[in-house]
Amino acid sequence: MNLLNLMDDQDLILNLSPGPSALPHDVVKQLRDFLNSRLETGSSLIEISHRSSEFKAAHTRIKDLLRRLLLIPDDYTMLFLQGGARAHTSAIPMNFMTTQAKLPVYLNSGVWSALAAQEAKRYGDIETYSVPGVLPIERLNDADYCHYVNNETIDGIYWDKLPKLSHRRVICDMTSSLLSCSIPWSRLGCIYASSQKYLGLPGVTLVILDRKWLARITPMPQTPSTLNYQQQDQSDSLFNTPTNISWLTALWVLEWIESKGGLTYCVNNATHCAQLLYTFLDQSQFYQATVESHLRSKVNIVFKTRNVQSDQDCADYLAQKGVIGVKGHSLKGGLRASLYSTITPELIHVFIEHLKAFEEQYDAI
């Protein structure tokens, strides 16, 4: 079979965007059919109240699936909020920055962790340390909380070597890693992730919290009620009207993931896809992976060609072939392929064939 015909055969656009990511085809069909369906009330679920029994049943199902797929301990609660992960870089200091006697520690591994630290400084003093690097364990043990981003979407860096601390006041932004790795719950008190990479459509921010820590915090008086984690937990994430369609799409995506084999499938699939692409890049004389091997993300693969112009030409060529979202972030340039749950080894082979075809065309000029 000609791999370059695979997308035509299946009428596919290969979406390698860093977000929003591609939905599973089964979910796209569900979404299309669902928008045309009606309940006995005459309304679809996206039109009915979030207080209704139908919506609450979907809410319960989402929580059950997440707890099972992510192996979330019973003493952790789940919140489904709005604002994206970017809003929660503000919500976190407003909820957890309890005393300036013990400053929070922010670990800087790339663009998103630096932006989180920058936002936290609006609410109080913090300490920052660059990773990878030597970390002052005593200082981390004494911190109000520690914040880090384990997968830097823009930089293409994965770092998750935080040493074991004497507490679980550790917060991790897992927006771009949520279903690509196992989660070390024994070391984490809170994770958060916006939905547009692993849970479907934008519009939901998942926050998972240690209940005991949540009970002890004292949110700042200026914390908006919609971003007050205690308030939202007490109202089961229904303090304000949710984005129904994003919640329901998340439900279908989670059901699809479970049908494929759950977290084990996602982790193995991400690992295999990344290995295929990195192997090609490392063997190429035209393309170059730009991150040191021990720090490489297996989700966001950043690379470049011979120069800035050929990077742009490559992105344009790929877009013409139906491969979208490959142009690198404006802060970093180059190229980037994001390999979320719907990307399979077969599609990586297709992508590599397109990269080879562009190289041949470029060298022939």
Q: For residue 320, what is the domain's CATH number?
A: 3.90.1150.10
Percent of the chain's residues with pLDDT above 90:
84
**pTM confidence score:** 0.92
pLDDT for res 42: 65
In the predicted structure, residue 36 carries a pLDDT above the cut 60 = yes
Label residue 31 by pLDDT band (50, 70, 90). confident
Tell me how crowded residue 9 is: count the other CB atoms within 10 A of its CB.
9
pLDDT for res 247: 92
In the predicted structure, residue 357 carries a pLDDT above the cut 60 = yes
What's the average model confidence in pLDDT over 187-205? 96
Give CA–CA dist 192/232, Å, rounded.
14
β-pair type (190-194, 170-173): parallel
What's the average model confidence in pLDDT over 21-41? 82
Whether the Cβ atoms of residue 226 and residue 44 lie closer than 8 Å to each other: no
**223, 258, 293 - which closes a domain:** 258
Is 23 within a domain? no
| Same domain, yes or no: 187 and 328 | no
| Same domain, yes or no: 118 and 92 | yes
Q: How many domains, the chain?
A: 2
| Same domain, yes or no: 130 and 119 | yes
| Same domain, yes or no: 56 and 180 | yes
What's the average model confidence in pLDDT over 20-28? 93
CA proximity to 79, closest of 237, 215, 219: 237
| Same domain, yes or no: 323 and 294 | yes
Label residue 1 by pLDDT band (50, 70, 90). very low
How does pLDDT run across 72-109, given as a tens digit for each residue? 999 999 999 999 999 999 999 999 998 766 899 999 99
> Measured on CA atoms in the order 222, 234, 173, 50, is the torsion positive or negative?
negative
- Residue 16 contacts by C-beta under 8 Å, 6 or more apart in sequence? 323, 324, 325, 326, 336, 337, 338, 339, 343, 351
Task: Write out the residue range of the structural domain in which residue 290 sits.
Answer: 3-16+261-364
Helix axes of 25-35 and 244-260: crossing angle, nearest 10 degrees? 140
| Same domain, yes or no: 108 and 143 | yes
Find the CATH number of the domain harbouring 75: 3.40.640.10
pLDDT for res 364: 74
What's the average model confidence in pLDDT over 272-291? 98
Cis amide leading into 221 (omega within 30):
no
Label residue 5 by pLDDT band (50, 70, 90). very low
How does pLDDT run across 107-131, given as a tens digit for each residue? 999 999 999 999 999 999 999 999 9
pLDDT for res 44: 66
Is 141 within a domain? yes
Label residue 3 by pLDDT band (50, 70, 90). very low
How does pLDDT run across 138-156, given as a tens digit for each residue? 999 999 999 999 999 999 9
| Same domain, yes or no: 266 and 348 | yes
Whether the Cβ atoms of residue 357 and residue 7 lie closer than 8 Å to each other: no
- DSSP 8-state symbol, 226: G
